[in-house]
Homo-oligomer: A and B are copies of this chain.
Amino acid sequence: MESGRHRPRAGYELPLLLFAGFRTLIDGVHAELARQGHPDARPAHGFALQAIGPDGAAASDIARRLGISKQAAGKTVDRLVALGYAERSDDPADARRRLVRLTARGRDVLARSAAIFDTLRADWAAVLGEERLRALEDDLRAVTVPGAFRLDAAGWIGGTS
């Protein structure tokens, strides 16, 4: 593999670059969402709304999908409800469960996010070329375990500032 032809690269740069890329996309999406009528949407909300899904879910389902405790999921749902992105209703089939469903506004922010992510990806493709961007995606898939999407313990990425 012909190593040694170039100056070796420091390993600590890799996480910084990955994070910078992630952060660039996330910040971009939220800047645009704010412009499109969703100034209060935060990164964590998107993940949670995604975890709820079109058919709704119980708080404990959300907790499992996100890899966090059910209490944390419950608090997040509280915030989504307060922001008008989700609503809670009783489950007629199981009196313990409280079904969380997306509101129209919740579906709206999700649809807009998806569209914005597509245009941001297109921006990257315009710089790198589609082939190279695909290679980047494929390579990342190759070195990560699929379960690395867990969201525990994180305030994440700005948003307040």
- A130-153 interface with B by 8 A CB criterion: 130-137, 139-145, 148-150, 152-153
A-B residue pairs, 6 tightest by C-beta: A11-B117, A11-B121, A20-B148, A11-B118, A20-B144, A18-B22
**Could you pull out 29 A-B pairs where Cβ atoms are within 8 angstroms?**
A2-B130, A9-B134, A10-B117, A11-B114, A11-B116, A11-B118, A11-B120, A12-B114, A13-B137, A14-B117, A14-B121, A15-B21, A18-B19, A19-B22, A20-B144, A20-B148, A21-B148, A23-B144, A23-B148, A23-B150, A24-B143, A127-B143, A128-B139, A128-B142, A135-B136, A136-B140, A152-B161, A153-B159, A154-B158
